[in-house]
Amino acid sequence: MPPKNATWLKRTVPDHAAGWTLEQFLRQEMGVSGRLIQRLTRIRGIRWNKEETFLGRKVRAGDEVAVKLKPRGSAAPREVKERVPLLWKDSRALVVAKPAGMASHAEGPRSGTTLVDVLRAQLSRPEQNAGVHLVHRLDRPTSGALLVARDALAHAQLDQLLRDGQIERSYLARVAGHIEQDELAIDAPIGRDESHATRRKVDPAGQPARSRVRVLARDEQTTLVQLWPETGRTHQLRVHLAHLGHPILGDRLYGGPEHARLLLHAWKLGFALPWRHGERVEVSAEPPTELAPPTA
């Protein structure tokens, strides 16, 4: 029997899955990756009709399959007044609009109120799921769409999509000067800048980093661009644009012209939900006026 204090995600086997092995059901119906199945097996975190069993067991319509969810922290939500817009949600994940100037998660004793703090308070009503597991990060000065899982299994599933390059993310930025090419790809490894505590730099010995750039508009002194990070290195877009000689406006860390804020915005997210048979989700976060794309 599962321990009473454990949290379990349960699914009933539908008619079309009768005769599948338990492993097939976990992979195809619940969207559990092979790596996560191995981990769940090690911690005895898989149940068939409330009993432990083997992955090759054939399931029948009406059987109950459960996997163990490991909550990440049970601290009471901090009392915060801030709220953030929810751009999309279902029972296991949501997309929020992070404001510029708010840290995604605690970065140290001076982090202030973080997005995680706000969401834990905002989702703490009994009818809500207060789980908050960030699938990716946005730098403190960056605004826009951020994907959040609401339980540990959903986080593992979405994290795997991110690692496999199956979550499409695009950003808007306004950069200094004119980028002459309408479209370009940047393939420049990124490593730490040993002369600064937080700064990164293009470094041939660094980690692979790839970004795509499309010019949306040019004015006398700046260029509005849409960006797609194909890898997820710290400060990747900021480093790549500065490396091109076109730092983002407001990016003091990488030599950008002065501006009231960093003009970098996470605009669009696209992904398929593993627990809804690949149902496609497309979400966009309205950009600030300075980053609004030109209308056709």
Tell me: the pLDDT tens digits for 207-224? 999 999 999 999 999 999
Whose CA is closest to 21, among 80, 63, 78, 79? 63
Query: Tell me: the pLDDT tens digits for 123-150?
Result: 875 444 457 889 999 999 999 999 999 9
Is 139 marked active-site? yes
As a whole number of angstroms, the distance between CA 141 and CA 266 comes to 11
Residue 181 in this model has a pLDDT that exceeds 90: yes
Contact present, 266 and 285 (Cβ < 8 Å) = yes
Contact present, 199 and 191 (Cβ < 8 Å) = no
The tokens describing 269, both together, are 């997210």
Domain ranges of the chain: 7-69, 170-265
Cα–Cα distance list, 145 to 73, 142, 169, 280 (Å): 24, 10, 9, 16
Estimate the share of the chain in helix, then strand, then coil, as percent rounded to the nearest 5: 20, 30, 50
Count how many Cα atoms sit within 13 Å of the Cα of residue 74 in the half-sphere of its side chain: 5
Q: Which pLDDT value is given to residue 71?
A: 52
Q: Which pLDDT value is given to residue 110?
A: 61
Burial of 121 (0-12, 13-18, 19+ CB in 10 A): buried
Contact present, 137 and 229 (Cβ < 8 Å) = no
Q: Which CATH number fits domain 7-69: 3.30.1490.20, 3.10.290.10, 3.40.47.10, 3.40.1350.10?
A: 3.10.290.10
Q: Which pLDDT value is given to residue 105?
A: 84
Threshold 0.85, pTM exceeds: no
Among candidate residues 15, 90, 117, 139, the one labeled active-site is: 139
Q: Is 37 left (phi over 0), alpha (psi -120 to 50) or beta?
A: alpha
* Residue 57 identity (one-letter amino acid): R
Q: Any idea which architecture 170-265 has in CATH?
A: 2-Layer Sandwich (3.30)
Query: Tell me: the pLDDT tens digits for 42-87?
Result: 888 899 999 999 999 999 999 999 988 765 444 555 577 889 999 9
